[in-house]
Structure 1
């Protein structure tokens, strides 16, 4: 679109913004809801051994969706890729909702992951090609703010649905609403030329193959705890496979912390691993240690999501004034403080208010960092590589979270019954959060 910009909620962008934000809103609702109800799902389906896989699997599969859609968007219309992604997302939700056992639920989550990953990348490319660059920060802030309502009512509603109806309706409800949200976006984009003027001709077959290997490695890491005495060997081998296979999917220099886009992408992986790896155990801790119901355990995530939205709004309005380095330092400090407080609570048996209040700091930090890293990625991109770079950012996000969740799951299973399971998870998260400061100080292509 070449019309002069006014605002993201005004013509000609208003309906696209509304539909895209609704899709992000539903993804947020689904993520928060599943995190809340999974302890009940695991108990009913006797799936404790697959608890971590139900989370890491969807992230691992999303890597494949991200790569395929990233290539697709660099070669054709992103609206077509978005259509298939939403279809897979909805199908996965339906399969998971109807699952008679935990294995089938994990299969549904894997299908959902393919759609989730593709949907994320397609939306980023749509933002890059529909909105002028000066509005990118506002759109990303709107995406982050789409977590506000889910954070207020999502976990509690999901818990209430589980208690008074059934957890299956958590999946079915989101599936139906996702179709409506997608229709709004598709009708507005239909007929609008969004194809890049020059087509990327990179080695897409290699990227797709590597994405599959990354997904398999991440799932293998999640299942390492099932191999008994061989668990450390399986976990180590799986982690090596993930690291080797992910390299061609990321900008050159990502794993060596090169300044600029590579550090942006690496930082996203580390903070995603720290937050999402630990977050799935916050409601688990409240249910297991403090006897919370699933409804009230969901409130443990509410304050964090609220402050995530607040942090995103601050970044959207004042991000350029604060600067990327300052945002990185503040964000990492808040995330580290949250994970350390969770560790202390689990280790010393402090009141649950400490972990609930402390976890809100993680939301504030992520709200500052997440949209900023997306804006930087788009700023470092050209129309020819927007799909690849957007996919790389999302891949690092998913791969980092999947690997962290899997590793923490292995540690949790190994230490279950010793009293050290929850503290170990939060301690690993704190270490990842601190490590994120290394690329966080190298987000600019120039020093200083």
Structure 2
């Protein structure tokens, strides 16, 4: 590291910076848990079940696209100003989300929220990579992952209480004090001495990425529902997405300062980490987005109970991440990631065999195993990447890995949401050929008061349709878990971080 880097580390108060970073991460973590828990209540209030997945897709699309830009800017201007801008935009989006009067408004405001969120997690992780040594990072990543455990316990509890006794709108407004405190801590205790450079931002790459991902996402969500698969509109959008991807790769390979530095991908450990992060991102959103709807709509449990089935995932994640910090030092990246991959397959299998009569504990056990797999694999990937690259590209290297996971969750929200809508629509049409019952009929299923006014036959039809559709979703999740395990096998074998 340069003398400037050493000077910055000497001036920085590590424990306080770590606290501020963990607070910023907690803001993002509790946001994810609370929104997933509150979604059935939001849909019950605003309607629009067919737009369910767009609430996640809108947020994730902007998150995925901006994370690379933030990573590049942080290598030019330092981490502190970039994460600050991100938090401020995130808070503006959160305030607006709480004032939403329709699902369309909520989706638009989630775009704004996602635009800011792209800076929070990658910058927080990169700051830790900057101020701690390679050996320290393995342990500190475990501390960072403990944030998910804390938010997992408090998030669903707070979210459930707010939804049941106050209003779902407060699940967005709770971010405001957290963001303000995180900004204050970073500006008081993190001191960077960065050599300012003229910013060279790859706007062309960003535009091509937005075009590619957004068109693909639209087809995946609406294909087979509002757009027939064989329609000219669907074919056109698929062609546009494929062309956009090809032009994006061509552009990035030739631009001097690419948004996606493909040179880093020549390192096999980075290549595998990024590809597997994509597949695990698809898995992650498949569980966290739709499990609350199953627990509340089919199992007929409260929002709090639905939230705690996701809590199990977030408890398994920090526990395994803490273990991963020690395991990385003794056994290395390959063994740590391999154990994580096996846990992912086991967790996905639990969901494939899940039946409504099995109850919330069965769902929670699957969530816990998914969390264990994510904690082990993601910790190994981040430490491996940050230990492989130099400071001047650490921001973009970390952001690239975050981007691949975010891209996975973006594609996953659209793909799995499209599968859910398509399968549910087919089921309802086959079982109610003489009825005008539609996908949005599930709105009533997710509202306890409206469900009580429905006939037992109608409730059973909707619940059977939702169960059947989610079974298909979880089969796809299992498929991606197997892909993840196969990818992990190609990680270069090592003997741990101890010298």
Residues 1:381 and 1:218: Cα distance change in structure 2 (over 3 Å): farther
Structure 2 match to 1:27: 28
Separation of aligned partners in 2, 1:54 and 1:231: 26
Q: Secondary structure at the match of 1:345?
A: coil
Structure 2 match to 1:399: 407
Q: Secondary structure at the match of 1:96?
A: helix
Of 281, 286, 290, the residue aligned with 1:281 is 290
CA contact (8 A) 1:22 1:181 kept: yes
Separation of aligned partners in 1, 2:126 and 2:111: 23
Residues 1:230 and 1:306: Cα distance change in structure 2 (over 3 Å): same
TM-score (norm: length of structure 2): 0.81
- Alignment pair present for 1:252 and 2:300: no
Separation of aligned partners in 1, 2:324 and 2:230: 42
Separation of aligned partners in 2, 1:203 and 1:422: 41
Separation of aligned partners in 2, 1:393 and 1:287: 34
Q: Secondary structure at the match of 1:290?
A: coil
- Alignment pair present for 1:87 and 2:88: yes
- Structure 1 residues 146-157: aligned runs within 5 Å: 146-157=147-158
- Alignment pair present for 1:384 and 2:392: yes
Of 475, 478, 483, the residue aligned with 1:427 is 475
Residues 1:446 and 1:296: Cα distance change in structure 2 (over 3 Å): closer
Structure 2 match to 1:206: 204
Separation of aligned partners in 1, 2:305 and 2:226: 35
Structure 1 match to 2:416: 408
Moved more, 45-54 or 320-329: 320-329
Deviations 1:112-142 (A, max 9, x none): 1111112223223322322233322222222
Moved more, 159-168 or 171-180: 171-180
Separation of aligned partners in 2, 1:402 and 1:350: 30
Structure 1 match to 2:192: 192
Q: Secondary structure at the match of 1:16?
A: helix
Structure of greater Rg? 2
Calculate the aligned-residue CA RMSD, in Å: 2.8
Residues 1:194 and 1:284: Cα distance change in structure 2 (over 3 Å): farther
For residue 228 of structure 1, report the CA deviation from its aligned partner: 3.1
For residue 229 of structure 1, report the CA deviation from its aligned partner: 1.5
Q: Secondary structure at the match of 2:262?
A: coil
Separation of aligned partners in 2, 1:66 and 1:313: 25
For residue 237 of structure 1, report the CA deviation from its aligned partner: 4.8
Structure 1 match to 2:454: none
Separation of aligned partners in 1, 2:133 and 2:74: 18
Structure 1 match to 2:72: 71
Deviations 1:128-179 (A, max 9, x none): 3222333222222221110112111211220111110000011011223211
Separation of aligned partners in 2, 1:54 and 1:294: 18
Residues 1:135 and 1:241: Cα distance change in structure 2 (over 3 Å): farther
- Alignment pair present for 1:440 and 2:488: yes
CA contact (8 A) 1:214 1:245 kept: no
Separation of aligned partners in 2, 1:338 and 1:41: 28
Structure 1 match to 2:227: 228
Residues 1:200 and 1:264: Cα distance change in structure 2 (over 3 Å): farther
TM-score (norm: length of structure 1): 0.90
Separation of aligned partners in 1, 2:361 and 2:264: 38
Residue ranges of structure 1 left out of the alignment (5+ in a row): none
Separation of aligned partners in 1, 2:112 and 2:121: 15
CA contact (8 A) 1:66 1:121 kept: yes
CA contact (8 A) 1:74 1:195 kept: no
Of 322, 336, 344, the residue aligned with 1:335 is 344
- Alignment pair present for 1:303 and 2:312: yes
- Structure 1 residues 1-150: aligned runs within 5 Å: 2=6, 12-150=13-151
For residue 390 of structure 1, report the CA deviation from its aligned partner: 1.5
CA contact (8 A) 2:333 2:493 kept: no
Separation of aligned partners in 2, 1:426 and 1:76: 43
Separation of aligned partners in 2, 1:170 and 1:423: 29
For residue 254 of structure 1, report the CA deviation from its aligned partner: 8.8
Residue ranges of structure 2 left out of the alignment (5+ in a row): 253-258, 428-464
Deviations 1:51-72 (A, max 9, x none): 1011122111012221221121
- Structure 1 residues 319-334: aligned runs within 5 Å: 319-334=328-343
Structure 1 match to 2:215: 217
Separation of aligned partners in 2, 1:278 and 1:215: 21
